[in-house]
Each structure stands twice: as C-alpha cells, then as structure tokens.
Structure 1
Amino acid sequence: MIRLHQFKRQWGIANPSPFCMKVETYLRMTGLAYEVIEEASPLNAPKKKLPYIDDGEKVIPDSGFIIDSLKASYGNPLDGGLSRAQQAEAHLMRRLCEESLLWPVVYSRWIDDSGWSVIKPAFFGALPPVLRDAVPWLAQRRVKRMLWLQGMGRHRPEEIYRLGIEDLAAIAACLGDKPFLLGTAPASTDAVAYATLANIIAPPIASPLKDYVLSQENVIAYCERMRERYYDAV
C-alpha cells in the first residue's frame, strides 16, 4: 500500500499544505489505496520537504514527482484522454497555483499579522514552552527571507494581494460554468487547484485573497463539488 507522509490535518480540510493536499486528492480521485503517516516535521523527509510517499521499495519526494510516479506505475485515468491543448492548459494552471499564487498565500499566512496570529499557535503551539517563541520566530524569519529572494517580499502588502487576486481571477475565468477546470470530467489539475483554493478558504485567516474567493460563486461551487465528491467523510 502507498504510504503518504504529510503534515497533520487542520481546519477541517485534508491538509494545511496545498502540496500535501494535492497528493491526497489525487489519490482519492484515482481510487488508489493509501495510508496517511502524519509527520511533525519535514526535517527527516527526503529533500527536507513534505509530502513524500513510500510505494513499495520506492521513496518519492515532491508532489509533482509523486504524481508522475503514480501515473507511471498505476496508469493515468484522469489525464490519459486529454488533448495537447488541455495538457498545456493543465500545465499552466499548475504553474499559476504553485509558482505564482503560492507566494501571496504564503505572505497571508506567515507575514500578515492576521494570518500569523493563526499560524503560530496552529503550527507551533504544541512545542515545549521554552521553544514556543524561538522556533516560530526563526521559521517566520526564514519565510521572510524566502519571500524576499523570490521577489514577492519586496512589494507592499496591497501589491502582493493584488497579484494574488489576479491569479484567482484567472482561475475563476478558466473555470467559468464548467464543473471542472478542463470540462465535464475531473483531471489531475483539479487536485492542484482545489488544494490551493481550499487552503485559502478553510483556515480562519482573514485576507483579501479569501474575500475574493468567497465572492466568486463558481469557485465556491467548484470547491464544494470537489469536497462532496472526494472528501465527504473528512
């Protein structure tokens, strides 16, 4: 059986990491049997990141490589029938979610005071009292450095959120009135988009990103459709 190593569940969704939730959603969409192994820290993981999977004798890190490996080992029921144009659209949607929209989401959680006041106790509240301030301070400083090096951290808050809302508007426009991003049938890119959107909606964090998502009726209906189809028991 596939063993999925990821962070513990939070906020009524599969995972507080969009990348972990992406993999679990893909597993549910394809009907593959799996077991979740909750990890307190990614430090012992390959590449020092979660998620990763054990699949027989293979240990595979990185959500994208995990899904590629699962397709190679178990077939490609979600994407096998996509046209080249649909494959390109799916690729662009993954990049938008994971390399563009990701950074405003990270800012909203780790830097914005309204997000940090939720993230700090949720992620670090179980630490011993002697570590409960030092460890989150170091983690937040590391995230600030990442945002600065990536470039997003050089912008003003209103600029960061404007860029994120532009990405969310693109998702809403691509979805339109379709039940899934690429049409009437779900594809693996829906695992990416749903995991990203759910991680904006579900955490009790007020932000312009959440305000925008909640204003888009088609996006809310899409997220509810995905939840009911794949996570009704969570």
Structure 2
Amino acid sequence: MSGCKKKEKFPVAKDVVLLHQLDRGIFTPSISPFPLKLETYMRMAGISYENDFKNPMGPKGKTPWMTFNGKDYCDSELCLELLASKFQKDFSSHLTAEERAIARSFQIMTEEHLDCSLAMGLHQRENLVGRSDEFADGIAFGDAAGGASAQGMGRHNKDDVIEMGRKDLRAISDYLGTKPYFTGEKPTEMDCAMFGCLAQLVWSMQGSPYEEQMKG
C-alpha cells in the first residue's frame, strides 16, 4: 500500500527502511504496539533501518509507516509482509497451515481486541512518554478513545472492558503455556506482534487492572 506523504525528506541508502514512528517511551521503545512490532521484526530479520520521529503519523492518522527504496507504505502488517518478501525473511515458513491459522487468530485477537481494551485503560501518560502535552494526549488517549468507540469496545462500561481484556490474556497464557515462543521453539512474526502489545502492558501500565494477572 503506497501513497503516504512525508512532511520532510530523509535520504537513506538503497534497501534501508526509513521507519516513521512515535518518539521513544520511558519504559518501552514505542508507546504503540505497531511500530514496536515492525521494529522488532526488522531487528530479528537483520534488515537495516533508520527511524524518523518527526513524522510519525501517516495520512490515515496511523503509525507506523515506512519509506523503502523511494516508495511509501502504510500499515505495520503490510509493511512487514512486503519486507518478508523482499528480503526472503519468512520466519513462519516452517509452520503447518493449521499452526499458521492459529497464530493469525491469536495475533488478530491481540491487536484488534486486547489492544483496544488496553488503550482504554491508559491512565498515566507520564509512564508512556515522560511528558504531558497536547500531542501525547491526542496520540495516547483521544485517538484511542475515538477508535475504541468506533470499534465497539468503547461502548461498554469499564468493568466489562476489563473482563474482556482479562479473558484475552488468559487465552494467550493458555496458548503460550511453557513454550519459549508462541508457536514453539522458534520465534515468528507472531511473536513480534505479541511482544509489541504485551510490552505495553508489562512495562508501561503500572497500576493497571491487569497488573496482578500478569504477575500471577
């Protein structure tokens, strides 16, 4: 997917990704799961990249997006798939069709359902970005609330949302079990996505309703 517009130009070498994302957080490299997913994948795949923190939001109001060999691409999952094809770095190639289906289902549940419930629970922006300003408010709270309402999660009361999140976490925990990675002995793209979301919960949401469950 292309057509993103950069506010500034950042020249990079051929086959080097320019990753447009939010400023670094205090406790996690990104306060959004999706830049963290994509950056984790590129580190795992050994793909050279540079960060642009000045233009984090794409034309659809989402982060991250990337510039690669003169073209702009949006959506972390589409960016990941493009890079996997370009650099032949498919870490899920050893999985069976059934294992791929299960991994995709858990990833979608985490990114589309659990993340929404977590975003509604963000309550200490200083924990996320180390500052209190209009930009941080808009990214971490205003946009999250609007997105949650459109998705449907934001129309429920707080207790129901928390319980939904807890059910997702129990399912994730049951699926992971004692495995070193979600699909077995080797990390896959799914692990990058799960890390992006769960890192926010573990390190950036102190005092959240999920803290006791995560430590249990």
Considering the TM-score relative to the shorter chain, is it more than 0.5? Answer: yes
C-alpha RMSD of the superposition: 2.4
Partner of 2:79: 66
Partner of 1:82: 95
Partner of 1:232: none
Q: Distance in 2 between matches of 1:200 and 1:32?
A: 27
Bigger shift: residues 167-176 or 149-158: 149-158
The one-letter code matched in structure 2 to 1:189 is M
Partner of 1:225: none
Correspondence 1:160-179 to 2 at 5 A:
160-179=161-180
Correspondence 1:30-49 to 2 at 5 A:
30-39=45-54, 41-42=56-57, 45-49=58-62
Tell me how far 1:122 sits from its aligned partner: 5.3
Q: Which residue, 41, 53, 62 being the options, matches 1:26?
A: 41
Q: Which residue, 23, 33, 36 being the options, matches 1:8?
A: 23
Partner of 2:6: none
Secondary structure, counterpart of 1:208 in structure 2: coil
Tell me how far 1:25 sits from its aligned partner: 0.6
Secondary structure, counterpart of 1:8 in structure 2: coil
The one-letter code matched in structure 2 to 1:160 is V
Structure 1, gaps ≥5 residues long: 110-114, 216-234
Alpha-carbon distance change, 39 to 213 in structure 1, aligned in 2, over 3 angstroms: farther
Partner of 1:102: 115
Q: Distance in 1 between matches of 2:118 and 2:139?
A: 19
Deviation per residue, 1:7-54 (Å, 9 max, x gap)? 111123221100010000111111111111113652xx2423210111
Alpha-carbon distance change, 168 to 36 in structure 1, aligned in 2, over 3 angstroms: same
Structure 2, gaps ≥5 residues long: 1-15
The one-letter code matched in structure 2 to 1:191 is C
Partner of 2:190: 189
TM-score with structure 2 setting the length: 0.83
Alpha-carbon distance change, 14 to 121 in structure 1, aligned in 2, over 3 angstroms: closer
Q: Does 1:55 align with 2:68?
A: yes
User: Among the aligned pairs, what percent are the same residue?
Assistant: 26
Partner of 1:119: 125
Q: Which has the higher relative contact order, 1 or 2, with Cα contacts under 8 A spaced 6 or more apart? A: 2
8 Å CA contact retained: 1:175, 1:181: yes
